A and B are shown apart, each in its own frame.
Chain A
Amino acid sequence: MAILVDENSKILIQGITGSYGGRHAKLSLDYGTQVVAGVTPGKGGQLFENRVPIFDTVSEAVRETGATVSTIFVPPPFAGDAILEAADAGVDLIVCITEGIPVVDMMRVKAVLKDYPHCRLIGPNCPGLVTPGRGEQSHGGCRIGIAPGYIHRRGGIGIVSRSGTLTYEAVWQVTNLGMGQSTCVGIGGDPINGTSHLDVLKLFNDDPETEAIIMIGEIGGTREEEAAAWAKEHCRKPIAGFIAGATAPPGRRMGHAGAIISGGQGTAEAKKAAMREAGIMVAETPAEIGATLVKAMNK
């Protein structure tokens, strides 16, 4: 079953004609993803890669193609607006890849999205999500965003992470252990975002295909602690975790806008402690995430 998306999901891409959006639209198509439309205001009527119709508006794209998911590859000054356009057009899921959106813009977007309770936002500043296919090198699945497709394999491990490349490490370790992933969700590195670890844990908990979960976090904020507290009471499946940033100095923004230890809060130590307290097995190094998952599953 997987969560959020599968091989049947119809995807539109806002910003498909930009070089970044275009490159990843092509990689998604190569993976077998149903990219059915692109949206770039002013470029409606053109065709992407001679096969995907481009529209001026998300509304038109949804009406003409039945797309229910939008991926946003729009530059920071316009990305907040792009998110709200997609919500207004009635998509079920918005995945915003864009890094660099001002935090005030996201504050306002989140407040407005309360008017669209059936619409979920993932990101921004995220690598997207992948539900692997069942074909050669997991071809035939749904790849939204920028992850390399070939590292995945369809299976029973759900992965939720704030990171991009660190997530690929975990995915690759799982695949090399002979297991596979149900869905991999990158929630992104920004301090105000659409979907939290907790939101995704709940979805994995209710997904029949997901047998065990990997949760990857980093310094900053208290979302991992909230997720751990919920998991302790409610999660029926084993969880393994890793927190990046044990060696990060306080007060510095470590790349991700949300990766900052502030006023003593948001340290890696505090998160690891909260996770262990909740029965989550915590990997001490990023190289051991797969092995820690195996321990958690055998507990």
Chain B
Amino acid sequence: MMGARKKQKTYRFQGGVHPPEEKLTAALPTEAMPLPEKIYIPLSQHIGAPAVPVVKEGDRVLTGMVVAEAGGFVSTPVHASISGTVTGIVDYPHPVGRNMPAVVVESDGADKLDEKITPPPDINSLTGEEIREIIKNAGIVGLGGAAFPTHVKLSPPKDKPIDTLIINGAECEPYLTADHRLMLEHPEKVIGGARLLAKALGVTRVLTGVEKNKMDAVQALTGATGSDVAVVPFAVHYPQGAEKQLIKASVDRVVPAGGLPMDVGVVVQNVGTAAAVYDAVTDGMPLISRIVTVTGPGIRTPKNLRVRIGTPLSEVIASCGGLAPDVRKVILGGPMMGNAQFNLQVPVIKGTSGVLLLTESAAEVLQPGPCLRCGNCVRVCPMGLTPLMFARYTELGMFDEAAEFNVADCIECGCCAYECPAHIPLVQYAKYAKAEIQNRKRKAAG
């Protein structure tokens, strides 16, 4: 059986860096976190319109019940992740950095599941359309971090035919191991979910990409799959897990500038998303929890935790032994692309793959110097851009010239800033330039 399968060819993408892997929690099995007392479910946890609440203060909710409905086509519903009483819909700190509306539920400790949650009668006879409907109602979004509503990704327009589905198990960010543990502990969910996604898209070619530092996961997945879903190991090369780079490395297709994977006939989904799809279809379970890696030198006991959506960060940290005394920086996500937080009351949302706590030495602030024109940033950019040019033009406030250097194609992976010997905040310049260019376009349009 093994010998008959031919080895899948992989390709190289340009640029990229090799930060230390720091997978401190790779061998730690996922633990279930004790239920929080209160959860704060933001109405906006995904790309697209915020969800619209359907509950009010005083309402009693059960685990898995819808608390807010989708606010449009590119939107998803949000569900209660514990049972209890709604204490209100308030403006609450959100990981993006400002207060946003959130549904607050006070737990009754029972964690009673909503009776309406039942698996569909015959899973194998479900059509692609029905699968997409289940995914939408389950509130599933891309769990790799981008949080794009999955059912929308599975509904490309007719003029963009899809022939390949890629399941993303690369997890190229240092420190994060949530996807690794999922693939090890529930490979059947990942493969099962992949099959359901393939059906929803109507494709036959499915491959799961995993970096070579997770060969045990590759084995686990290979054992759970048949010939329909290929499991392909990739070189450990950041950002292997970025959509466009993964597509280039697996099927050697280049997504055009300003385009999307569907332009080259591919759809990419994270392994966590695939597993959530499996749960939704097989058990009728909506997205109410996810695996979060709590790691870094700033936490006493690093862990992989299964956390209910809406749990405040402070409680997550408490269940990992609390903060180390010299902790300096708290990042949601990985060290390359994560967002630093200043308020530990922010809740875990659907896209929170990890909490990284760094100490003074790990989060050292380096003073930026002048650009040497060394070209490191150009060499490592996986999108083939010239960060030194648009960063300098942005610094001088010349945003039109910065736009000419394709800053709009920047995926903000952080490779350039990582390699810059002058410690110039190149990614911040890219984000700043993008925001200003959008701003000016909007002002010009009136």
Asked if A and B bind, the verdict is no
